[in-house]
Amino acid sequence: MHTRTVFVISDGTGITAETFGTALMTQFDIKPRIVRIPFVDTVDKAHQAVRQINHTGEVEGKKPIVFSTLVNQEVVTVIADHCKGLLMDMFGTFVQPLEEELGMKSQHRVGRFSDISQSKEYLDRMEAINYTLAHDDGQTNHDLTGADVVLVGVSRSGKTPTSLYLAMQFGLKVANYPLIPEDFERKKLPPALEPIKKKLFGLTIDPVRLSTIRNERRPNSRYASLENCRSEVHEAEAMMRRAGVSWLSTTTKSIEEISTTILQEVLPHRLGMGMHG
Amino acid sequence: MHTRTVFVISDGTGITAETFGTALMTQFDIKPRIVRIPFVDTVDKAHQAVRQINHTGEVEGKKPIVFSTLVNQEVVTVIADHCKGLLMDMFGTFVQPLEEELGMKSQHRVGRFSDISQSKEYLDRMEAINYTLAHDDGQTNHDLTGADVVLVGVSRSGKTPTSLYLAMQFGLKVANYPLIPEDFERKKLPPALEPIKKKLFGLTIDPVRLSTIRNERRPNSRYASLENCRSEVHEAEAMMRRAGVSWLSTTTKSIEEISTTILQEVLPHRLGMGMHG
């Protein structure tokens, strides 16, 4: 059972605030219930949210925790004046010192917070997703030079989720290529990858974990056997070492961590590094 | 040219903090350069980050803005004592009042912040991505009852990116189904969708925008013509209205907004609503 309710109120989607609030709460040894209240962009909706929060507080007999990213001053005032929770104003807390340092007022534009709209950046992200889907699992060699990154690794090493995350989060065009037994026999990377060697990044995985994952898909197959997994991983790592391709093990890493390491290795300027004149 | 550098320092990936910091900065009429410094989990790396920040401040003649989500107290101390930027401690600022309210100390676990690790939740997310990819664009009717949501709409109305976002962000299994001229002739939803009507959600789009998008893919085709787009959108909306399927227009909405609205309509308990006993 949960021991405390955490509300996330936003005049946008509140997704960023929820991710942030959830991460903060993992620092405490409790299991909170997280409730996100999105699109709170009128005084009416603010009063409704306040009622929900205060009611929860009464029923549970504990002060709800409230993370807010609200831009509209009237909405903020309703929440601040009437909400009986512990209010953490993620917007106001940081906007005030920023206004002082930058010597300007913030624009208090509702909906600009936490959501990316139909900008150039947004359209690029859509295009990146389409590119990445079309180039999943070595489906096509067409326009491989258009890729920002090309992932390689044995089947089920984590290439597809990582590719999609890089496309979705960072707008990167990512192709991914499986390394298969034929490649190991030739002892060479797939020929299509030779011209784009600088864009390659390898994913590897612990053979025991790989065998578990493959067994879910094809139980008791040779494909999933520990012996075959050991051999494929060994061959793939040897091949990447020979070809001078950077790689990491995905075994104990999240997609976010894997993706960040790939950016550091292949596209450091996407972290903002090295663009300073 | 950028007028200010914003650093994001984290002992994890810093992705959440970057999204948050970027959203805050859009409230100001400046174009900052964002630099993310991930994995700052030792005193050495903290000193390195401080040097980078202070150097940038000297070169630009302006105080860099620094968002940090650092858990390790030694690392925090190095940054707080030596960094000449405007420090916004996103961790400490909120952890202190939380500690008081909850009556317990935070665990200061590095790496727990902002990253989701190899938990049950994480594996569910991977499975959701696989399900969603396999059920993209009506590829298969197999196990449609296993879906959390099934999106319908004309080709290029935004079904695929939305499905993938729902899978990646919320671990939802999402199938999506195109509505095609054959369906419009029969004046009925695809038969495979009848048994899962409660899981359906429709996406529609402004015909002019749809025509633009389709023209990028197949220039000057009948498929992309404004006349055909108008007719398809009209038919699709009429069909959803008849079938009692909720829908929204994706024309001016971000994936985050579309996804949040879908959760509100189809899976409100995924926002945390209605689970309270």
Mean residue pLDDT across chain B:
91
Residue located via tokens 């369906």: B183
Tell me how far apart the alpha carbons of residues A166 and A266 are, in angstroms, rounded to a whole number. 12
Nearest to B168 among A91, A107, A165 (CB): A165
pLDDT tens, residue by residue, A204-239: 999 999 999 999 889 999 999 999 999 999 999 999
pLDDT digits (tens, 9 = 90+) for B173-215: 999 999 999 999 999 999 999 999 999 999 999 999 999 999 9
CA gyration radius for chain B? 24
Residue B152 sits at the chain A interface (C-beta within 8 Å): no
**3 state SS of A196:** helix
Residues in chain B: 277
Residue A272, sorted as left (phi over 0), alpha (psi -120 to 50) or beta, turns out to be left
Query: What is the Cβ-side half-sphere exposure of residue A27, based on CA atoms within 13 angstroms?
Result: 26
Nearest to A36 among B28, B33, B271 (CB): B271
Q: What is the DSSP string of A107-156?
A: ---TT-SS---SSHHHHHHHHHHHHHHHTGGG---TTGGG-SEEEEESTT
Residue ranges per domain, chain A? 5-102, 120-271
**Residue A275's pLDDT band (boundaries 50, 70, 90)?**
very low
Specify the pLDDT at position A114: 41
pLDDT average, residue stretch B13-28: 91
pLDDT of B116 over the 50 cut: no
A89 contact partners, CB below 8 Å, separation of at least 6 = A68, A70, A76, A80
Topology annotation, domain B5-102: Rossmann fold (3.40.50)
Binning pLDDT at 50, 70 and 90, where does residue A277 land? very low
Q: Touching check for A139 and chain B: CB below 8 Å?
A: no
Which DSSP letter does residue B43 get?
H
The B residues from 201 to 230 touching A (CB cutoff 8 Å) are none
Looking at the complex, does the CB of residue B1 fall below 8 Å from at least one CB of chain A?
Answer: no
pLDDT at B277: 30
Query: Looking at residues A136-164, what average pLDDT do you find?
Result: 94
Q: Which of B106, B132, B254 to mutate to test the interface with A (most CBs of A within 10 A)?
A: B254
In 3-state terms, what secondary structure has residue B59?
Answer: helix
Any CB–CB contact under 8 A between B187 and chain A? no
Query: Are A114 and B256 an interchain contact pair (Cβ–Cβ within 8 Å)?
Result: yes
pLDDT at residue B117 in the model: 47
Say what the pLDDT of residue A123 is.
80
Put simply, the answer to whether A16 touches B39 (Cβ < 8 Å) is no
Please write the tens of the pLDDT for every residue from A107-149.
877 654 444 445 677 788 889 999 999 999 999 988 999 999 9
What tens digit of pLDDT does each residue of B51-62 get? 999 999 999 999
**pLDDT given at position B121:** 78
What are the beta bridge partners of residue B68?
B9, B89
Q: How far apart are CA A97 and CA A104, in angstroms?
A: 11
Matching CATH topology for A5-102 and A120-271?
yes
Residue A12, marked binder: no
- Stretch 113-132 of chain B: residues touching chain A, C-beta under 8 Å: 113-118, 122, 126, 129-130
Give residue-wise pLDDT tens across range A7-49.
999 999 999 999 999 989 989 988 899 999 999 999 999 999 9
Give the DSSP H/E element, type plus range, for residue B247: strand B247-249
Predicted pLDDT of residue B118:
56
Which residues of chain B are within 8 Å of residue A265 when distances are taken between CB atoms? Answer: none
| Per-residue model confidence as pLDDT tens digits over B91-110 | 999 999 999 999 999 987 76
Q: Does domain B120-271 have CATH number 3.30.450?
A: no
What average pLDDT does the segment B227-255 reach?
A: 95
